[in-house]
Each structure stands twice: as structure tokens, then as C-alpha cells.
Amino acid sequence: MGVVMGIDLGTSYFKVALVSEDGSLLGLGRRAVRVQSPYPGYQELPLPQFVDLVEQTVGDAFAASGLAFGDIAAVSYSSQANTFALFDSSMKPLTPLIIWSDSRVSAATRELESFCADTALLERTGMGLFSMQLCVAKLAWFRHAQPELWRATRFVLTISDLLLFLLTGCRIGDSSTASLLGIWDVNAEHYWHDGLDVLGLRPELFAELYRPATVVGTADSEFARRLGLRRSAVAVAGSLDHLAAALGAGIGYLAPAAESSGTVLAALGLIDRFAVEQGASVGPYASAGRFYKLAFSEHGAGVLEWYRRSHAPELTLARLTELAADVPAGCEGLTARPGAQRYQGLEGFQASRRSGQPYRHGHYARALMERGAIVLRSLLLRALDGGTPEAVVSTGGGAQNDLWLQIKADVVGCDFVRSDCAEPGSLGAAMYAACGAGWFTTVEQAGRAWLSVNARFSPDPARSSEYRALMQQS
């Protein structure tokens, strides 16, 4: 029996899926990532801890599957972006992994200011989302704050580059994850030399990049043996976690767009031209000539947890959802502001109800869901380059909330689909591995063979009409 491995290098959890050729999930491992914070704002993961965590999560997946080590034909990954470590000329690590959420950089250097001001940043790299949390901002910080360490630096590896290095011994990576570095020229398919020059960086610092689903080498290292890969197993380039999860949920075959309601709210579309704009990121897809377009908002499932924790600690999220289901569309005049969690108390909500009856927890919970759906509608328009989706596949914690999926369908005006895959990130990674193993020629072909619809939520005409009227008034 052929088996492939998909490794999901998430920020909060690492997950590993072992998947057979017919798409059966044979074993799943899941372990929390214990990030260290030695100073305020620092977010780090020591490399020995990274290695142990990958091995332990893989071991859990094998234990759940009953498979023997040595059965794995191919391995790929889904990865967070902008998490990296510095290495010297002998590949000795000079730093731990610096997690993308690390906020040690508070101000831009002159070089970084010039880099950000260049209109070619967007035109070449597709990066319309820039922050001090990006890898290049921290590299500029190391150059100025720790010059001796920087002089010893010869290589920069992202977390997914490091995984491939441990598997193959080569400094290689994927162009999808690297496109969020802001230094990859997406159309030319090489590093953006002018941008690197402004930052004082050299292309040789970074990994050689390949398109997702490309076989990049043989996993013949001792580390690969400890992960249970056979000696002929291939390592396959993966992708950014949002793209891999979208594939694992059904984008490209169940729907042309995907949304994720997790810590943040994200919309991802597949487009046929390099259509860049501020507020979105455009990067390479597995197929040449196609691109993903990604847009974010802070109004994810985290706002519901914020409300529960701050205003209804005695209730579970499930109970809040039940209460929200009893509230009519429009919440009887209560609306949530974008970023409601940033306001004091309940000042993130606006009321227009004429009745003297007080709003209850269900009203506030539904108002947050409705605001999330309205924000998602605008994100989807951006992610599809102005197009309207026929359907959307859902991932993240919000995908398990039937009420919220129905509200999204009513507000956006299209079907929302939940596939039968509970771990789309690691399954998307396994799809890349399956292509590398020769089981499928495209990731879409893998998805059609492996996935089916678990639930479909279609817009209710009456509620959709009511939401359109409310959006026109706001």
C-alpha cells in the first residue's frame, strides 16, 4: 500500500497526516508548539525543539496508523511564512527560529523605508501586505542591532526551507511560502535583485525555490529515516499554509474560493493573472500561469472568543452560538464595528433599536458573526480580483459553526461548502506529496479523488435580501 506524509507547520500546532493512495487518513499526529519569549516581544523556537517536535508529531501519526516505519513514499508540507533562522557557512545555526509573530522590530531602518516606498515591491513581488513582522524587517534589524552575528551569517532559511534541508541536505524551498517574504519576483521566478540591493542582502543568502508540488530531491538523510521515509522517498515542495489548507478543503474543484475563520479572517482565490493591489498578497500556484490571491482581516473566530472571555465567561462558544441562532437576521438593530475587540467594554457595538428591551448575549454573538460575514464579502471580492464566487469552501475553526456558515452564505449570496476533511492543512500537504509520488498529475485531480462535501449552506433569499438592505444603509 502506498502512503504519503503531509506535515503542517502551523504557528500553534504541528500536524502530520499519513494518507493512502485512495485518500484514506491512516494516521494523524498533533502537537502544540511551545514558543519561547526570552524578552518582551520575542517569539522563538530553538532548533533542537523544532526537530524533536517534528519527530514526535510524526511518531504520533505512525502510532495512530499502525503502519511500519519505512512505508512512506513521499513527503511535503504546509507552512507558516516569515519564520526563519540564521546560519553560518557550515550551516551551524546562529539563532533559534524567529517566529513570524515576533515583534522585536518597532521601527524601520532607512533601508527598509526605501524598500517599502518602492512601487516595484508590489509590482514585482505581489506583496500588498507589509508589516514589521516580515522576515526582511527582522533581517534589517539584525544587520543594525547585532552586526557581529550578522557578519557571521551566510544563509537564511525559513521554517519550511529548514525542513527540506533536514530531509535532503539541500537549501531548497517553495516559491509560494517565499512570496510572502516580499523579495520574490513572482513573474520572473527569481529573487528581486533591486529590492535585495536596497536592503543590503544577497540572493545567495536564501534557498533555491521551486513551484509547489515539484519534486525537489530524495529524502535520504538520517532525519528522513527517523521520520519513517523509505530510502527512495521523494521530498516535494509544499506551500503557504493558507493555500495548502484551501486545497485540502476543496478549492479548485469544490469551489473557486476559500475562506478561513481562525485567529484571523482570510479569503483566498485562484486567479489567472498577476493582479496586484494594496491590502492583498498574490503568489504562485502549483500550476504555471495561475496565482493565489490572499486578503486578511482581524475579524476572525477570535472575536467570538474575545466576547465570550470578556462578557460571557460562564458560557461556551457552542452555547453562544445556540443563543445567536434564536436572534433574527439584523440582530434587531445591533451591529458590531469592524475590530470590535479593540474597543472598551461594549463600545465596539452600535444600537439602533427603538425598543427599550436590552440586548442579550445571543444578539452580540450574532452581530459579530454578521460583521465577519460582511467583512468576508469584501475580502472575497478582492481575492477573486473583483469577481463573485459561485461557491466558497470553508476552513479554520469557524468552518465547524453551522450558523456562521449560513450567515456567510446569506450575506455573500453564494453556497458555502464544508468538505469531509477535518485537517485540510496537512491533507493539502499530502496532496502535494501524492503528486510527487506520481499518483496524480495535478493537485486538483488529487482533490477530486480524495474529497467530498460534508455540508452545503445555500443562501436564503429572504435573509439575503434583508442583509443587502442593511449593507446599503450602513
Contact 300, 396 (CB under 8 A): yes
- Per-residue confidence at 1, pLDDT binned at 50, 70, 90? low
- Per-residue confidence at 397, pLDDT binned at 50, 70, 90? confident
Residue 456: Cβ within 10 Å count: 13
pLDDT at 106: 86
Lowest mean pLDDT among 16-25, 65-74, 152-161, 310-319: 65-74
Lowest mean pLDDT among 262-266, 317-321, 331-335, 413-417: 262-266
Can you tell me the distance from the alpha carbon of 437 to that of 233, in angstroms, rounded to the nearest whole number?
Answer: 8
Residue 218: Cβ within 10 Å count: 17
Under DSSP, the state recorded for 328 is P
Question: Is 354 a residue whose pLDDT tops 70?
Answer: no
Can you tell me the distance from the alpha carbon of 25 to that of 31, in angstroms, rounded to the nearest whole number?
Answer: 17
Residue 147: Cβ within 10 Å count: 10
- Nearest CA to 246 out of 436, 427, 381 is that of 427
pLDDT at 474: 65
| Ramachandran angles phi, psi of 204, nearest 5° | -65, -15
Question: For the segment 273-321, what is each residue's pLDDT rounded down to a tens digit?
Answer: 999 999 999 999 999 899 999 998 887 778 899 999 999 999 999 999 9
Can you tell me the distance from the alpha carbon of 331 to that of 351, in angstroms, rounded to the nearest whole number?
Answer: 9
Under DSSP, the state recorded for 322 is H
Mean pLDDT of the chain: 93
For cell 458573526, the residue is: 369
pLDDT at 398: 85
pLDDT at 421: 87
Contact 368, 343 (CB under 8 A): no
pLDDT at 355: 59
pLDDT at 298: 80
pLDDT at 145: 93
Q: Grid coordinates representing 409?
A: 452564505
Q: Grid coordinates representing 109?
A: 531602518
pLDDT at 271: 93
Q: What is the mean pLDDT of residues 261-280?
A: 90
Question: Is 225 a residue whose pLDDT tops 60?
Answer: yes
Q: Grid coordinates representing 112?
A: 527598509
- Per-residue confidence at 109, pLDDT binned at 50, 70, 90? confident
Question: Is 88 a residue whose pLDDT tops 90?
Answer: yes
Q: How far is CA 465 from CA 78, 252, 351, 366, in A?
A: 39, 29, 21, 18
Can you tell me the distance from the alpha carbon of 359 to that of 187, in angstroms, rounded to the nearest whole number?
Answer: 52
Contact 280, 290 (CB under 8 A): no
Contact 207, 178 (CB under 8 A): yes
Q: What is the mean pLDDT of residues 35-60?
A: 97
The total number of residues written for the chain in this structure? 474
In sequence order, the β-bridge partners of residue 184 are: 191
Domains and CATH numbers, the chain: 3-237 (3.30.420.40), 241-474 (3.30.420.40)
Higher-scoring residue by pLDDT: 1, 136: 136
Distance from chain centroid for Cα 106: 24
H helices within 78-192, ranges in order? 110-117, 120-125, 135-145, 147-152, 159-168, 175-178
Contact 375, 265 (CB under 8 A): yes
Question: Is 466 a residue whose pLDDT tops 80?
Answer: yes
Q: What is the mean pLDDT of residues 175-190?
A: 95
Distance from chain centroid for Cα 115: 25
pLDDT at 312: 96
Question: Is 68 a residue whose pLDDT tops 70?
Answer: yes
Q: What is the mean pLDDT of residues 362-378?
A: 95
Can you tell me the distance from the alpha carbon of 185 to that of 179, in angstroms, rounded to the nearest whole number?
Answer: 8
Q: What is the mean pLDDT of residues 238-251?
A: 95
Q: What is the mean pLDDT of residues 449-458?
A: 94
pLDDT at 143: 94
Contact 97, 34 (CB under 8 A): no
- Per-residue confidence at 242, pLDDT binned at 50, 70, 90? very high
pLDDT at 353: 63
